[in-house]
Amino acid sequence: MNKISLLTQYLQESPDDPFLHFALAKEYENLDQIDLATDKYEYLMRVHESYVGTYYHAGKIFEKKTKWLEAMSCYEKGIAIARKAGDRHSAAELNEAKEQLQDSLEG
């Protein structure tokens, strides 16, 4: 059984588990199924807004799709959520990604 089938089966058993949705998004991303990964990240941002890990990876996906405003929005929202959760490490990673994107757009 491949990872996508396995994760899909786990999601049938635990449909509200944000980690399983995140793991499925990452697996789609690893297989270069960018649209499916994007759909899953967008679902996580809608339904599991406080799942901090989503925002960095969603931002990077939007960068791959040259959707700069969406990427910037992901980073900014993720920074706010990480700070609210007291997750300084994630906030710093997201801020670095945001600054790199700003620098690349300005340069």
pLDDT digits (tens, 9 = 90+) for 66-91: 999 999 999 999 999 999 999 999 99
Per residue in 1-21, pLDDT (tens digit) is: 799 999 999 999 999 999 999
pLDDT of residue 1: 73
- Give the domain ranges of the chain: 3-106
Q: CB of 62 within 8 A of CB of 71?
A: yes
Pull the structure tokens for residue 82: 């990480």
Q: How does pLDDT run across 20-61, given as a tens digit for each residue?
A: 999 999 999 999 999 999 999 999 999 999 999 999 999 999
What SS3 string covers the chain?
Answer: CCHHHHHHHHHHHCCCCHHHHHHHHHHHHHCCCHHHHHHHHHHHHHHCCCCCHHHHHHHHHHHHCCCHHHHHHHHHHHHHHHHHHCCHHHHHHHHHHHHHHHHHHHC
| pLDDT interval class at 107 (50, 70, 90) | confident
- Which of 1.25.40.10, 1.10.1740.10, 3.40.630.30, 3.40.50.10490 would CATH assign to domain 3-106? 1.25.40.10
